[in-house]
A and B are shown apart, each in its own frame.
Chain A
């Protein structure tokens, strides 16, 4: 278990734990109601976080097949 794997917990906390707090229309961001914006934001952050983990993880260095 590498400590930076814990980054991947953040989207779960933000979406599952955050839903109760972001379930509102305002403020609109990029024209979207806030709740919808929050989910879009975290979908993008999911990708950025996974990219970070991918880069840090020595498993993805080199061309080994596992």
Chain B
């Protein structure tokens, strides 16, 4: 065994131990466990929300996209900056409503807001479906991390299994509360690793950032701007738009939002988060350095690790690998736990209200294992890059945005039927296009490339919005008939 792998394993054992220690002696109510009793202050909310944004995808997927597709990767920074400022208007009313109604999960929010258990079930399922590609990213990254840092001794498939068991062990040991400390360590590590790599690598190889881009211009000039076809300007604009509106739609963000003490912290976050997003710039530098230094590399998702192994001592590669590991475990556990919570409280419980606390917790754990197996399967069978999976997950989750945004208004023109059918259609379009590997160019060969290049998520979103309004209007009449006998407001 080499030193890099050893360091990664030490961090894994440490984080599982920390999780076990954190859990001991704590017996918490659902509200305590999931959202810390709604007592988190502004800075802590900032750290949590900022931290949730940075997973192992930031390290491997972002540098990979910059390596493979150059300027297309800039979409990540652009949507983060735009997405985070929506925090000012979107999050305070969400938080306030959740506080009034004692809401702890996203699907519960929908089910209470639209007064429909059915919609709650539905949102829980969509949330889980949207998390699948995201969790698949995490397993795939684990595979890449372990396979690369073992210098080929462990195959990617075995590495994915190891990664899956590591994540399961971590989730079972710690729960959400145990993640808090590991999360702090992860945020500090990822911050310094990104800054160090992004500053050291370009200067070491090219003297300055300007020198780096001059060198990229020599070997791959097309990497510095968007191409005229494919990931073109219209791809960029549509992708930034859907991702920005999807920014706070993730089921695993919801508990963090509800955990806040006041609405003011969300408005302050809108000031701070765009600055924090600039960290991604330094990951671009790593990807661009790899374009020049690793001309033979086929898959960009290996770029950061391969370049690090070429440049640094194995022990430092181990630190980078350990950072990647923590950046997998923390968000991974949050995603698995929030998916399991939504399924048990908003799908299983309404179907079988007599279920005991014990079998509820058992169901949740069984569901975590099942979901992990599905994602492990996808991460072994698919050849998609990390960035492709990331794009799919955002196209899916953004389908929740219209009915959530509109439900925050004083009078909501959308009803549960419109919200449900709209979301269903949007999600169905994205899933169909993803699995059949259809492109807009195949569907509409005669249209100009400006339209062909659009992100499929935005087509699905428009269909979703239109259906949402049409069905809400169509079902409103019969609905008001039924309620006519009830006293009017």
Give A contacts to B, CB under 8 Å: 5, 8, 11-12, 15-16, 19-20, 23-25, 28, 30-33, 35-36, 39-40, 42-44, 46-47, 49-51, 53-54, 57, 59-60, 65-66
Contact = CB atoms under 8 A, between A and B. Distances in A.
Nearest to A66: B263
B270 interface: yes
A65 B100 CA distance: 13
B88 interface: yes
A8 B209 CA distance: 31
B71 A28 contact: no
Q: Is chain B's interface secondary structure helix, strand, loop, or mixed overall?
A: helix
Contacts of B224: 25, 33, 35-36
Contacts of B85: 8, 11, 46, 49-50
B121 interface: no
Interface in B58-75: 71, 74
B88 A50 contact: yes
Contacts, number: 114
B134 interface: no
Interface of B: 71, 74, 77-78, 80-82, 84-85, 88-89, 92, 96, 208-213, 217, 221, 224-226, 233, 236-237, 240-241, 261-264, 267-268, 270-272, 274-275, 277-278, 281, 284
Given A46-B274, A47-B274, A15 B78 contact: yes
Contact of B240 (A16, A23, A28): A16
A60 B275 contact: no
Given A31-B209, A65-B263, 7 more contacts: A8-B88, A15-B82, A16-B82, A16-B241, A35-B74, A47-B275, A59-B267
Nearest to A21: B233
B82 A32 contact: no
B284 A36 contact: yes
B217 A25 contact: yes
A11 to B, nearest CB: 6
A66 B270 CA distance: 16
A32 B213 contact: yes
A25 B277 contact: no
A12 B81 CA distance: 10
A47 B225 contact: no
A65 B241 CA distance: 31
A32 B71 CA distance: 12
A43 B277 contact: yes
A61 to B, nearest CB: 10
B271 A32 contact: no
18 contacts: A11-B85, A16-B82, A19-B226, A19-B233, A20-B233, A24-B225, A25-B213, A33-B213, A35-B224, A36-B71, A36-B74, A36-B224, A39-B78, A47-B272, A50-B270, A54-B268, A65-B261, A66-B96
A35 B88 contact: no
Nearest to B272: A47
Contacts of A33: 71, 213, 224-225
A16 B245 CA distance: 13
A4 to B, nearest CB: 12
Contacts of B278: 40, 43-44
B457 to A, nearest CB: 15
Nearest to B241: A16
Contact of B81 (A5, A36, A46): A46
A15 B240 contact: yes
Contacts of B237: 16, 19-20
A22 B278 CA distance: 19
B82 A11 contact: yes
Contacts of A59: 264, 267
B92 A12 contact: no
Q: Which of A12, A32, A44, A50 has the most CB of B within 10 A?
A: A50
A46 B269 CA distance: 12
For the complex of A and B, the 9 pairs showing the least CB-CB separation, nearest first, are A31-B210, A46-B274, A31-B209, A43-B81, A47-B274, A50-B271, A33-B224, A50-B270, A25-B224
A47 B476 CA distance: 41
B27 to A, nearest CB: 29
A40 B88 contact: no
Nearest to A52: B271
A3 to B, nearest CB: 15
Nearest to B95: A66
Contacts of A11: 81-82, 85
B24 to A, nearest CB: 34
A4 B303 CA distance: 44
A46 B274 CA distance: 6
A44 B209 CA distance: 19
A15 B81 contact: yes
